[in-house]
A and B are shown apart, each in its own frame.
Chain A
Amino acid sequence: MIDARSLTKTYDTGASEVRALADASLQVQDGEFVAIMGPSGSGKSTLMALLGCLDTPTSGEYVLDGKRVSSMSEDQLAQIRSERIGFVFQAFHLLPRFSALSNVELPLIYAGVGAGKRRALAEEALAKVELVPRASHKPSELSGGEKQRVAIARALVNRPKLLLADEPTGNLDSRVGAEIMNVFDRIHGEGSTIVMVTHDRTVAEHAGRIVHLKDGRVDREEVLRGKE
Chain B
Amino acid sequence: MRIRLSDTFSLAADTLSANRFRAALTMLGVTIGVASVILLVSLGEGVKVFVTDQFSSLGTNVIIITPGKAETSGGMPLIADTTQGLTLADAEAVRDRCPSLTAVAPVCFGTANVKFANRNRSTLVIGTVAEFETVRHMHVEVGSFLPRADDVSEKQVAILGRKIKDELFPGENPLGKRILVDDRRFRVIGVMQKKGRSLGMDLDDLIFVPVAAAQVIFNRDRLQEILAHAPTEAGLNRGAVDAKALLITRHDNKEDFTVHNQDDMMAVLTTIMGVLTYALAGIAGISLLVGGIGIMNIMLVSVTERTREIGIRKAVGARKGDILAQFLIESVILSSAGGLAGVLLGVGAGQGLKTIFPDMPIVFPVWAVVMAFGFSFLVGVFFGVYPARRASRLDPIAALRVE
A binds B: yes
Asked if B172 is at the interface (CB within 8 A of a chain A CB), the reply is no
Cβ contact of B1, chosen from A54, A112, A154, cutoff 8 A: A112
Cβ contact of B319, chosen from A75, A93, A114, A158, cutoff 8 A: A75
A-B contact count (CB 8 A): 69
Q: Are B397 and A49 in contact (CB under 8 A)?
A: yes
- Nearest chain B CB to A12's CB is how many angstroms away? 13
Q: Are B400 and A93 in contact (CB under 8 A)?
A: yes
Most B C-beta atoms less than 10 A away, residue of A81, A94, A109, A111: A109
- Bound-state CA distance A55–B315 (Å) is 10
Q: Mark A50-66, 1 if CB is under 8 A from B, else 0.
A: 00101100000000000
Q: Give chain A interface residues in 81-137, CB to chain B under 8 Å.
A: 81-83, 87, 89, 93-95, 97, 106-107, 109-115
Asked if A221 is at the interface (CB within 8 A of a chain B CB), the reply is no
Q: Specify which chain A residues have a CB less than 8 angstroms from the CB of B318 in the assembled complex.
A: 78, 82, 110
- Nearest chain A CB to B3's CB is how many angstroms away? 5
Q: A94 — nearest CB in chain B belongs to which residue? A: B312
Given A78-B314, A95-B309, A97-B18, does the pair A110, B397 have CB atoms closer than 8 Å?
no
Q: A115 — nearest CB in chain B belongs to which residue? A: B7
The range of chain B's interface size is: 20 to 34
Asked if A205 is at the interface (CB within 8 A of a chain B CB), the reply is no
- Nearest chain B CB to A44's CB is how many angstroms away? 13
Q: A114 — nearest CB in chain B belongs to which residue? A: B4
Q: A81 — nearest CB in chain B belongs to which residue? A: B317
Q: B393 — nearest CB in chain A belongs to which residue? A: A74
Q: Specify which chain A residues have a CB less than 8 angstroms from the CB of B322 in the assembled complex.
A: 110
Q: Chain B interface secondary structure, helix, strand, loop or mixed?
A: helix
Cβ contact of A93, chosen from B3, B14, B308, cutoff 8 A: B308
Q: A48 — nearest CB in chain B belongs to which residue? A: B397
Asked if B155 is at the interface (CB within 8 A of a chain A CB), the reply is no
Q: Are B316 and A110 in contact (CB under 8 A)?
A: yes
Q: Are A110 and B321 in contact (CB under 8 A)?
A: no
Asked if B313 is at the interface (CB within 8 A of a chain A CB), the reply is yes
Q: Specify which chain A residues have a CB less than 8 angstroms from the CB of B321 in the assembled complex.
A: 75
- Bound-state CA distance A95–B14 (Å) is 13
Asked if B320 is at the interface (CB within 8 A of a chain A CB), the reply is yes
- Nearest chain A CB to B318's CB is how many angstroms away? 5
- Bound-state CA distance A160–B369 (Å) is 51
Q: Give chain B interface residues in 289-335, CB to chain A under 8 Å.
A: 308-309, 311-322
Q: List 12 contacting pairs A-B, 8 Å CB cutoff, sorted by A.
A: A52-B315, A55-B397, A74-B320, A75-B321, A81-B315, A83-B317, A95-B309, A107-B316, A112-B1, A112-B2, A115-B7, A158-B317
Binding site for A on B (CB under 8 A): 1-4, 7, 11, 14, 18, 308-309, 311-322, 395-397, 400
